[in-house]
């Protein structure tokens, strides 16, 4: 009785829980990356993104007292402020061994005889009975509570201000220049080839289908160097044309296989009726097959765009490593090597790199399942 048609399986709850867990495992890190991309580097390094809306208490790097001395109360004093902003000092100290020795407002006597007072708002007064012109001013270690801080400066730096010679904005445009043609070109070629293999009779068609299936298992790494040598021999060399052709060649087997399987499942009567009415193969392809094959075309477009957008190896081989040729993935690798401590730059750059693929996927995802499952049932 458990397998009666229409009755829900007892494991339905397990499926639902698994789906929720998988979605959570994907959504939470992505949302955390988005939140971190708007936070300052200090807040990222001292607290997790889930505490972005709460007040943070952090120990700031050592700040050296500076300023011009002025006569005050029969002695000399240097006044100033340790930091800008709305932070509140809770503890402070003059030694790295005791960074929280004093509370805000307390007076500390330095080993050289001067007195130092740090208030809650970060303002300080360094006093002495004699001139401090030749004195090495002390450092102050501050533990302060800072309110939540969100900024667009991270994205301004990433997109418009080259960091350490690496412009993420330029790399973003390079990646768009690579990914869009490398997605459209194989779709156009594969659509024609898939129609021919699905509906046109010619000798060797079955062998061609088997050859396409065999190409699916060939590692692209084996073809990189021979293909680059071929490009150099015919005068293409490294450049956008070369990487477009490379991505087209590597993507065509999957595209032809996916589109051919979809087109074979289309109703045969529609095509036969069109031929009876005098339509040519080109007219049938453009006016009947292409509109009906849009789900499959969209499915392959998602796969191809995600692959070309996230690609690094093919881009390094066929495009280059210069600042004018570097793609987004290569720029992120360089940022991780040269600016590994700038967490706000890395988080912002990483979110920029996934923002466009997310938009493409969610924009076309309704066609994905239709395109992949088409032809599985009659």
- Say what the pLDDT of residue 9 is: 61
* pLDDT(86) > 80: no
* pLDDT at 341 (0 to 100): 60
Mean pLDDT score across all residues of the chain = 82
The pLDDT of residue 181: 93
Q: Is the pLDDT of residue 359 over 80?
A: yes
CA 29 to chain centre: 12
Note the pLDDT of residue 185.
94
Query: What are 192's two structure tokens?
Result: 């024609």
Classified as helix, coil or strand, 95 is: strand
Q: Can you tell me whether residue 51 is helix, strand or coil?
A: helix
pTM: 0.70
Query: How does DSSP assign 102-143, residue by residue?
Result: EETT-EEE-TTS-EEEE-TTSEEEEEESS--TTS-PPEEEEE
> In angstroms, how far is the first alpha carbon of the chain from the final one?
28
* Mean pLDDT calculated for residue range 334-343: 64
**What is the arithmetic mean of pLDDT over 248-272?**
87
pLDDT in tens, 104-129: 888 888 888 888 999 888 889 988 88
* pLDDT at residue 196 is higher than 60: yes
Distances (CA, A) of 107 to 84, 127, 345: 22, 10, 39
Q: How high is the pLDDT of residue 189? A: 92
Give the DSSP H or E segment for 58.
Answer: strand 56-59
SS3 assignment, position 71: strand
């Amino acid at each position: 009785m458990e397998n009666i048609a229409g009755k829900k399986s007892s494991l339905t709850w397990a499926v639902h829980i698994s789906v929720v867990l998988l979605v959570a495992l994907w959504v939470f890190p992505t949302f955390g990356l988005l939140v971190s991309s708007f936070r300052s580097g200090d807040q990222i390094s001292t607290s997790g993104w889930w505490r972005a809306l709460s007040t943070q208490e952090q120990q700031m790097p050592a700040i050296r007292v500076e300023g011009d001395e002025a006569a005050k109360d029969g002695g000399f004093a240097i006044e100033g402020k340790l930091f800008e902003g709305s932070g509140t000092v809770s503890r402070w100290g003059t030694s790295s061994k005791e960074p929280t020795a004093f509370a805000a407002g307390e007076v500390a006597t330095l080993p050289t005889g001067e007195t130092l007072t740090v208030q809650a708002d970060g303002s300080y007064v360094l006093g002495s009975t004699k001139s401090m012109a030749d004195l090495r001013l002390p450092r102050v270690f501050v533990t302060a509570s800072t309110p939540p801080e969100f900024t667009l400066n991270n994205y301004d730096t990433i997109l418009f201000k080259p960091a350490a010679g690496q412009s993420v904005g330029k790399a973003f445009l390079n990646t768009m220049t690579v990914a869009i043609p490398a997605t459209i070109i194989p779709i156009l070629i594969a659509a024609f080839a898939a129609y021919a293999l699905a509906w046109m009779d010619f000798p060797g068609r079955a062998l061609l289908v088997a050859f396409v299936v065999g190409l699916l298992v060939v590692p692209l790494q084996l073809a990189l160097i021979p293909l680059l040598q071929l490009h150099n021999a015919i005068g293409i060399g490294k450049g956008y044309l070369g990487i477009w052709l490379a991505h087209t060649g590597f993507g065509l087997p999957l595209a032809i296989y996916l589109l051919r399987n979809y087109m074979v499942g289309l109703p045969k009567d529609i095509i036969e009726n069109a031929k009876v009415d005098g339509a040519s193969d080109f007219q049938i392809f453009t006016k009947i097959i292409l509109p009906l094959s849009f789900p499959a075309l969209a499915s392959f477009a998602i796969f191809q765009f995600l692959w070309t957008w996230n690609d690094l190896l093919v881009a390094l081989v066929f495009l280059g490593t210069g600042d004018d040729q570097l793609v987004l993935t290569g720029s992120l690798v360089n940022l991780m090597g040269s600016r590994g401590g700038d967490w706000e730059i890395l988080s912002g750059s990483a979110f920029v790199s996934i923002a466009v693929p997310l938009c493409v996927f969610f924009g076309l995802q309704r066609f994905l399942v239709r395109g992949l499952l088409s032809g599985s049932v009659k």
